[in-house]
Amino acid sequence: MWVEILTTQEVVAVGLRTILEAAASALDITTTGPVGDEPDVVLYDVIHLKDGDASGLGYWLKQTASTVIAIDRTLRPELGARAKEQGVEWAIDLGITGDQLVAVIADAIGGNLEDNTAAHGWDAGGYLGSHIGLTPRESKVLALVAQGLSNQEIAETLILSINTVKTQIRSTYRKIGVAKRPLAMAWAVHHGFSGPVIQDGPPDPKPLDTEGALS
Protein backbone atom coordinates (compact mmCIF):
# COMPACT_ATOMS: atom_id res chain seq x y z
CA MET A 1 0.00 0.00 0.00
CA TRP A 2 1.67 3.18 -1.21
CA VAL A 3 1.17 6.47 0.64
CA GLU A 4 2.81 9.51 -0.96
CA ILE A 5 3.69 12.33 1.45
CA LEU A 6 3.85 15.78 -0.15
CA THR A 7 5.14 18.55 2.09
CA THR A 8 7.76 21.26 1.93
CA GLN A 9 8.78 20.70 5.54
CA GLU A 10 11.26 17.90 6.21
CA VAL A 11 10.26 17.43 9.83
CA VAL A 12 6.66 16.76 8.78
CA ALA A 13 7.72 14.32 6.06
CA VAL A 14 10.08 12.41 8.36
CA GLY A 15 7.52 12.28 11.15
CA LEU A 16 4.69 10.95 9.00
CA ARG A 17 6.97 8.53 7.17
CA THR A 18 8.31 7.14 10.44
CA ILE A 19 4.82 6.68 11.86
CA LEU A 20 3.53 4.89 8.78
CA GLU A 21 6.48 2.58 8.25
CA ALA A 22 6.85 1.70 11.94
CA ALA A 23 3.16 1.35 12.79
CA ALA A 24 2.06 -2.01 14.08
CA SER A 25 -0.64 -2.77 11.53
CA ALA A 26 -1.93 -5.50 9.30
CA LEU A 27 -1.40 -3.08 6.44
CA ASP A 28 1.83 -3.24 4.47
CA ILE A 29 2.49 0.48 4.04
CA THR A 30 5.28 2.01 2.01
CA THR A 31 5.98 5.67 1.29
CA THR A 32 7.72 5.06 -2.03
CA GLY A 33 6.55 3.41 -5.22
CA PRO A 34 7.56 2.61 -8.79
CA VAL A 35 8.11 5.47 -11.22
CA GLY A 36 5.10 5.98 -13.45
CA ASP A 37 2.66 4.34 -11.07
CA GLU A 38 0.11 6.06 -8.82
CA PRO A 39 0.06 5.99 -5.01
CA ASP A 40 -3.03 4.67 -3.27
CA VAL A 41 -3.21 7.70 -0.97
CA VAL A 42 -1.65 11.16 -1.20
CA LEU A 43 -1.11 13.10 2.03
CA TYR A 44 -0.97 16.66 0.72
CA ASP A 45 0.30 19.36 3.06
CA VAL A 46 -1.68 22.54 2.40
CA ILE A 47 1.50 24.53 3.10
CA HIS A 48 2.17 23.94 -0.63
CA LEU A 49 -0.59 26.45 -1.34
CA LYS A 50 0.91 29.38 0.55
CA ASP A 51 2.14 30.92 -2.71
CA GLY A 52 -1.19 30.39 -4.43
CA ASP A 53 -0.07 27.71 -6.92
CA ALA A 54 -2.56 24.83 -6.87
CA SER A 55 -1.43 23.15 -10.09
CA GLY A 56 0.27 20.28 -8.26
CA LEU A 57 -2.83 19.62 -6.21
CA GLY A 58 -4.96 19.78 -9.33
CA TYR A 59 -2.87 17.04 -10.91
CA TRP A 60 -3.47 14.61 -8.05
CA LEU A 61 -7.18 15.38 -7.90
CA LYS A 62 -7.95 15.25 -11.60
CA GLN A 63 -5.32 13.15 -13.33
CA THR A 64 -4.93 10.24 -10.90
CA ALA A 65 -7.13 7.77 -9.05
CA SER A 66 -5.27 8.41 -5.78
CA THR A 67 -7.26 9.41 -2.71
CA VAL A 68 -6.05 12.87 -1.68
CA ILE A 69 -6.13 13.76 2.00
CA ALA A 70 -5.06 17.25 3.01
CA ILE A 71 -2.75 17.85 5.95
CA ASP A 72 -4.56 20.85 7.37
CA ARG A 73 -2.83 23.72 9.15
CA THR A 74 -5.13 25.06 11.85
CA LEU A 75 -3.04 28.24 12.16
CA ARG A 76 -3.41 28.89 8.41
CA PRO A 77 -7.14 28.30 7.78
CA GLU A 78 -6.99 30.09 4.43
CA LEU A 79 -4.76 27.30 3.08
CA GLY A 80 -7.28 24.66 4.04
CA ALA A 81 -10.03 26.73 2.43
CA ARG A 82 -7.97 26.94 -0.76
CA ALA A 83 -7.49 23.18 -0.84
CA LYS A 84 -11.22 22.67 -0.30
CA GLU A 85 -11.99 25.00 -3.20
CA GLN A 86 -9.77 22.86 -5.42
CA GLY A 87 -11.86 19.79 -4.58
CA VAL A 88 -10.11 18.11 -1.64
CA GLU A 89 -12.79 16.30 0.33
CA TRP A 90 -10.92 14.99 3.37
CA ALA A 91 -8.35 16.38 5.79
CA ILE A 92 -6.33 15.46 8.86
CA ASP A 93 -4.40 17.75 11.17
CA LEU A 94 -0.92 17.41 12.61
CA GLY A 95 -2.30 16.47 16.00
CA ILE A 96 -3.25 13.03 14.69
CA THR A 97 -1.79 10.00 16.50
CA GLY A 98 0.06 7.17 14.80
CA ASP A 99 -2.78 4.70 15.26
CA GLN A 100 -5.29 7.24 13.96
CA LEU A 101 -3.16 7.94 10.90
CA VAL A 102 -2.90 4.25 10.03
CA ALA A 103 -6.66 3.87 10.49
CA VAL A 104 -7.26 6.84 8.17
CA ILE A 105 -5.09 5.22 5.50
CA ALA A 106 -6.94 1.91 5.86
CA ASP A 107 -10.33 3.61 5.60
CA ALA A 108 -9.19 5.67 2.60
CA ILE A 109 -8.24 2.47 0.79
CA GLY A 110 -11.54 0.85 1.76
CA GLY A 111 -13.64 3.89 0.84
CA ASN A 112 -14.87 4.28 4.42
CA LEU A 113 -13.47 7.65 5.45
CA GLU A 114 -16.93 8.89 6.38
CA ASP A 115 -16.79 6.47 9.34
CA ASN A 116 -13.40 7.72 10.58
CA THR A 117 -13.51 10.39 13.28
CA ALA A 118 -9.89 11.46 12.68
CA ALA A 119 -10.59 12.40 9.05
CA HIS A 120 -12.57 15.58 8.58
CA GLY A 121 -15.01 15.79 5.70
CA TRP A 122 -14.76 19.26 4.22
CA ASP A 123 -18.04 19.19 2.32
CA ALA A 124 -20.46 17.17 4.40
CA GLY A 125 -24.10 17.36 3.43
CA GLY A 126 -25.89 19.65 1.03
CA TYR A 127 -25.68 17.38 -2.03
CA LEU A 128 -27.45 14.28 -3.30
CA GLY A 129 -26.21 11.02 -1.80
CA SER A 130 -24.51 12.59 1.21
CA HIS A 131 -26.92 10.74 3.52
CA ILE A 132 -25.32 7.40 2.61
CA GLY A 133 -21.74 8.61 2.58
CA LEU A 134 -21.19 9.56 -1.05
CA THR A 135 -18.46 12.16 -1.43
CA PRO A 136 -19.18 15.27 -3.50
CA ARG A 137 -17.17 13.86 -6.40
CA GLU A 138 -18.98 10.50 -6.23
CA SER A 139 -22.28 12.39 -6.27
CA LYS A 140 -21.25 14.29 -9.40
CA VAL A 141 -20.12 11.08 -11.11
CA LEU A 142 -23.35 9.28 -10.21
CA ALA A 143 -25.40 12.19 -11.54
CA LEU A 144 -23.69 11.79 -14.91
CA VAL A 145 -24.12 8.01 -14.81
CA ALA A 146 -27.84 8.61 -14.22
CA GLN A 147 -27.92 10.82 -17.31
CA GLY A 148 -26.56 7.97 -19.40
CA LEU A 149 -23.03 9.26 -19.98
CA SER A 150 -20.22 6.79 -20.63
CA ASN A 151 -17.11 6.67 -18.45
CA GLN A 152 -15.16 8.57 -21.11
CA GLU A 153 -17.86 11.24 -21.35
CA ILE A 154 -17.87 11.60 -17.56
CA ALA A 155 -14.09 11.98 -17.55
CA GLU A 156 -14.28 14.70 -20.20
CA THR A 157 -17.14 16.51 -18.43
CA LEU A 158 -15.48 16.58 -15.00
CA ILE A 159 -11.92 16.92 -16.39
CA LEU A 160 -10.81 13.71 -14.68
CA SER A 161 -8.71 10.78 -15.83
CA ILE A 162 -10.62 7.70 -16.96
CA ASN A 163 -9.02 5.69 -14.13
CA THR A 164 -10.28 8.19 -11.58
CA VAL A 165 -13.80 7.89 -12.97
CA LYS A 166 -13.66 4.08 -12.82
CA THR A 167 -12.46 4.23 -9.21
CA GLN A 168 -15.23 6.66 -8.25
CA ILE A 169 -17.85 4.47 -9.93
CA ARG A 170 -16.65 1.35 -8.10
CA SER A 171 -16.78 3.06 -4.71
CA THR A 172 -20.18 4.58 -5.52
CA TYR A 173 -21.65 1.23 -6.53
CA ARG A 174 -20.42 -0.28 -3.26
CA LYS A 175 -22.01 2.47 -1.19
CA ILE A 176 -25.40 2.30 -2.92
CA GLY A 177 -25.37 -1.50 -2.98
CA VAL A 178 -25.44 -2.23 -6.70
CA ALA A 179 -23.13 -4.03 -9.09
CA LYS A 180 -24.37 -2.97 -12.52
CA ARG A 181 -24.85 0.35 -14.27
CA PRO A 182 -28.61 0.00 -14.99
CA LEU A 183 -29.23 -0.61 -11.29
CA ALA A 184 -27.10 2.41 -10.40
CA MET A 185 -29.09 4.54 -12.82
CA ALA A 186 -32.36 3.33 -11.33
CA TRP A 187 -31.14 3.99 -7.79
CA ALA A 188 -29.96 7.46 -8.71
CA VAL A 189 -33.21 8.48 -10.38
CA HIS A 190 -35.22 7.11 -7.44
CA HIS A 191 -33.12 9.24 -5.07
CA GLY A 192 -33.52 12.51 -6.91
CA PHE A 193 -30.76 12.49 -9.52
CA SER A 194 -31.81 13.52 -13.01
CA GLY A 195 -32.52 10.68 -15.40
CA PRO A 196 -31.25 10.19 -18.95
CA VAL A 197 -31.56 13.13 -21.27
CA ILE A 198 -34.09 12.27 -23.95
CA GLN A 199 -33.04 13.64 -27.28
CA ASP A 200 -35.78 15.19 -29.35
CA GLY A 201 -36.41 13.39 -32.61
CA PRO A 202 -36.36 15.08 -35.97
CA PRO A 203 -39.16 17.60 -36.50
CA ASP A 204 -42.31 16.40 -38.14
CA PRO A 205 -42.25 17.08 -41.87
CA LYS A 206 -44.16 20.14 -42.87
CA PRO A 207 -47.43 19.38 -44.63
CA LEU A 208 -47.24 19.70 -48.35
CA ASP A 209 -48.50 23.04 -49.56
CA THR A 210 -50.44 21.61 -52.48
CA GLU A 211 -51.88 24.92 -53.38
CA GLY A 212 -48.47 26.47 -53.67
CA ALA A 213 -47.08 23.42 -55.42
CA LEU A 214 -49.73 23.58 -58.11
CA SER A 215 -49.53 27.29 -58.67
The CATH number given to whatever domain includes residue 160 is 1.10.10.10
Residue 183 lies in a domain: yes
- Helix/strand/coil for 6: strand
* Residues with pLDDT less than 50, the chain: 199-204, 206-215
Return the pLDDT at 28: 81
Return the pLDDT at 154: 93
114 plus 142 within the same structural domain? no
Return the pLDDT at 26: 64
98 plus 150 within the same structural domain? no
40 plus 96 within the same structural domain? yes
102 plus 134 within the same structural domain? no
Residue 184 lies in a domain: yes
27 plus 64 within the same structural domain? yes
Residue range 77-135, pLDDT digits in tens: 889 888 888 889 899 998 888 889 999 998 888 878 888 889 988 765 567 887 787 88
The rounded distance, in Å, linking the Cα atoms of 136 and 148 is 19
Return the pLDDT at 214: 34
141 plus 106 within the same structural domain? no
List beta partners, residue 71. Answer: 45, 92
55 plus 154 within the same structural domain? no
114 plus 44 within the same structural domain? yes
| Residue span of the structural domain in which 137 resides | 130-190
108 plus 10 within the same structural domain? yes
Residue 186 lies in a domain: yes
Number of domains in the chain: 2
**pTM summary value:** 0.67
Degrees, nearest 5: CA angle 139-46-82? 55
Return the pLDDT at 77: 86
Residue 206 lies in a domain: no
Contact status, residue 141 vs residue 172, Cβ threshold 8 Å: yes
Residue 207 lies in a domain: no
Residue 81 lies in a domain: yes
Determine the length of the chain. Answer: 215
Q: Which of 72, 99, 121 is the last residue of a domain?
A: 121
95 plus 48 within the same structural domain? yes
Return the pLDDT at 212: 43
User: Mean pLDDT of all residues in the chain?
Assistant: 83
State the CATH number of the domain containing residue 35: 3.40.50.2300
C-beta contacts of 121-130 below 8 A and 24+ residues apart: 121/89, 121/90, 122/70, 122/80, 122/83, 122/84, 122/88, 122/89, 122/90, 122/91, 123/84, 123/89, 128/191, 128/192, 128/193, 129/172, 129/175, 129/176, 129/191, 129/193
Residues 6+ apart with CB under 8 A from 169: 141, 145, 151, 184
